[in-house]
Each structure stands twice: as C-alpha cells, then as structure tokens.
Copies of this chain bind each other. A is one copy, B any other.
Amino acid sequence: MKQDKQEIRPRFRDLGYTVGDLEIGKLNSITDVPGVKVGHCTIIEGNSRLIPGKGPVRTGVTVILPHEKNVYREKVRAGYFVLNGYGKTTGLVQVQELGCIESYIGLTNTLSIPAVTDALIDFHIEENPDVGISTSSINVVVGECNDGFLNDMQGRHVKKEHVFHAIENASRNVEEGCVGAGTGMSLFGYKGGIGTASRVVIEKTAEYVVGVLVLTNFGHRKDLTILGKKLHKEGMKQVTKTQHHGSVMVIIATDAPLNNRQLTRLAKRAPLGLARTGSFASWDSGDIIITFSTTNRIRHDENAATINMSIINESTKLFSSFLKAVVEATEEAVLNSLCKATSMTGRDDNYVEAISIEKIKELLES
C-alpha cells in the first residue's frame, strides 16, 4: 500500500512568503551546514485493521549525520533543552556531562528507540571495532515521536536494515513530509512529519549557517498559526480524529564554533519558533531540542593535555543573530513539514488529511 496522494507539494517559501528577517541558506535546509547529511527510510506496509505487533506499518527512521567522517572518532560539541519532557530521547545524560555527541542522531517512533539505538551501535562498531574492548563504549542519541494513531507502534517495525538503509541514503537533499521518522506523524490535526530550514549569519570575516530539522507531531487545529494568522477561527470543530500525544523533535546544526553552554542557549530558542506556529507545548508532549556544532570537534584519540579552540564571543550581536536564526528556522521548518506532508490512512482506517495548500494561500492573502 502506498500513501494516499503522491502529488508534489510545495515548501512554505514556494508560496511566496518569507519567515522572519534573516537570509536562508542555499538549500534552506539543515544540510546547508557543510558536512551534515540526512537519510530517511520510510516503511509503509499493510492495509488491514490493526493486529497489534503485525501492522499495518506507517513509520520509519531518519538519521542525521553530523559530518562525513567517523563521528565516534571526531565527536561534535552539543547541547540540548527539554521544553516538555514527556519523551524518551536516549543518550542525553552523557551529552550534558561531556558536551558532545559521538554518534549519528536517530529519529523514529517512540517504541522503536531501542532498535534504532542498537542498529546505530552496530554501525559505529563496524567503523570502530575497538569500542568496548580497547576503548570506551559508545553513547548513541535517538529521539522519537508517537506515531501510534496511524502506525502499529507495538510492532516495532523499524529494524537494523532500515537504519542502515537510511544511513546509506543520507545526502544533502533532505526529503520532507511523510518520510523517515515523519511517516506517521500529525501536526495541528493535519499530516506532519519532517521539515527543515536554515538561516545564514554573516560576520565581517566569516559566514555561518544555522540549520534546523524538525519531526513534527503536535498541536490542535484551532491553534495552528501561519505567519501570525490562525487558520481556524475559534469554535472550529475538529474534523478528524487526532492523536492525544503531541511532540516535536528539533535538531539544530551549525558550523559556528560554539561550545556546549552556547549550544544549550541556542536550543532554548527553538520553543520561541514553535510558539509562533501555535504550540503551547501540551502536558503530554516530548518537546526536545538537540543542538550541535560541526566545528571544534573532539578527537577521541587526543592525548594532548590541552586543546586549542576558537569559540564565538557571545557578548556580540553576532551571538544574538544565532538565537534569532534558531527561532526563524524552527518556525519555517515546522511550516515546511506541514506543507510537504501528504494525507495518509493508517491502522483501523485512521486518516490524517494533508493541509490544503489553497487554504494556506487564502489565509495569507486575506
């Protein structure tokens, strides 16, 4: 079985509107950060009623590659922020302590966290056969949203081969909408999924990129806000069954030389971008933001007593620009996930409709 409609849908910016003030990167994508790649594996199978553990399947996995080299050997500085912690993201204890990420970052459905974690352990051990033998073990970071409204989540249908497939297919061209981890997600009562966007921050002597990728699965129709305008006026009835457990994962990448504390400051701005789309971060959401910088990597085998690094002077307007970039790119990435997602029927004929692009246009022209 395939997705209900396979039409080509526009990104938000294709509608002729901008989000915020800053310039976008070439691809308006997290992959504008040099070296960053994203791969998806979308798993859609079965058409019948839910047989728990058997299907139907509307899920997948998305993998973010922080750079093109061995990430365990060249860890990236990282930070995170939890807006609401009704979520199961794994690996964050070590990110906080050491301020870095040493694995690819996985995204999937809630109950497939263990399978994706295990598969990423497999992948990194293949690259680093000394893990857990003559060197330390490995910390893997995987986040999730709950796609159980459309997907047989109990079935844990994401397997090792899907994760490896996502890695192999990783590229700078990021598919958006109902792909990878985003396959079965819902956003403001419409179909959601994967979205991405970027902003460029220009400094006299350098140009930095802030890229955002979101996995969207939150909100009620009456809260949806596009460029400050509500699509549904008060009292509008919910026209489809929607999930109760909203969540969003936000992955922020940059090539700016920022340390763990500074990256944590960036992470705290993503909620401001979510707010502009209408989120109030409901009690049962896992709203988790992870930030990393591709610069000043930490060499696993470094033996020197001290490490030289150059970091952004945060007492400048430049640093505030990074903060603003996060807000704007997060807002636009959410809108991209909304625009690009297509309608989908899942378990027990649960149906989530894609938003009408025409209605968005009407709203913005009003």
Q: Which residues of A contact B (CB under 8 A)?
A: 21, 50, 52, 82-94, 96-99, 110-111, 113-115, 117-118, 121, 125, 129, 131-133, 136-140, 146, 148, 153-154, 156, 203-206, 222, 225, 227-230, 234, 244-245, 257, 259-261, 265, 268-269, 271-276, 279-284, 286, 288, 298, 300, 302-316, 318-320, 323-324, 327
Contact of A323 among B87, B283, B305 (CB under 8 A): B283
Residues from chain B with a CB closer than 8 A to the CB of A87 are 93-94, 97
Residues from chain B with a CB closer than 8 A to the CB of A138 are 111
Residues from chain B with a CB closer than 8 A to the CB of A90 are 88, 90-91, 113
Residues from chain B with a CB closer than 8 A to the CB of A327 are 275, 280
18 inter-chain pairs at a CB distance below 8 angstroms, sorted by A residue, are A52-B129, A52-B133, A82-B93, A86-B97, A88-B90, A92-B93, A93-B286, A113-B114, A114-B114, A114-B117, A114-B121, A228-B228, A272-B279, A275-B276, A281-B323, A300-B315, A307-B311, A308-B308
Asked if B269 contacts A272 (CB within 8 A), the reply is no
**Minimal Cβ-Cβ distance residue in B for A145:** B137
So how many copies of this chain end up in the complex?
Answer: 4
Residues from chain B with a CB closer than 8 A to the CB of A111 are 121, 132, 137-138
CA distance A275 to B110 in the complex (A): 29
* Residues of A contacting B: mostly: mixed
Q: Across the A-B interface, give the 3 residue pairs with the lowest CB-CB distance, nearest first.
A: A228-B228, A85-B97, A272-B275
Residues from chain B with a CB closer than 8 A to the CB of A282 are 320, 323
Asked if B115 contacts A98 (CB within 8 A), the reply is no
Residues from chain B with a CB closer than 8 A to the CB of A302 are 313, 315
Residues from chain B with a CB closer than 8 A to the CB of A146 are 132, 136-137
Contact of A88 among B93, B225, B313 (CB under 8 A): B93
Residues from chain B with a CB closer than 8 A to the CB of A98 are 85-86, 314
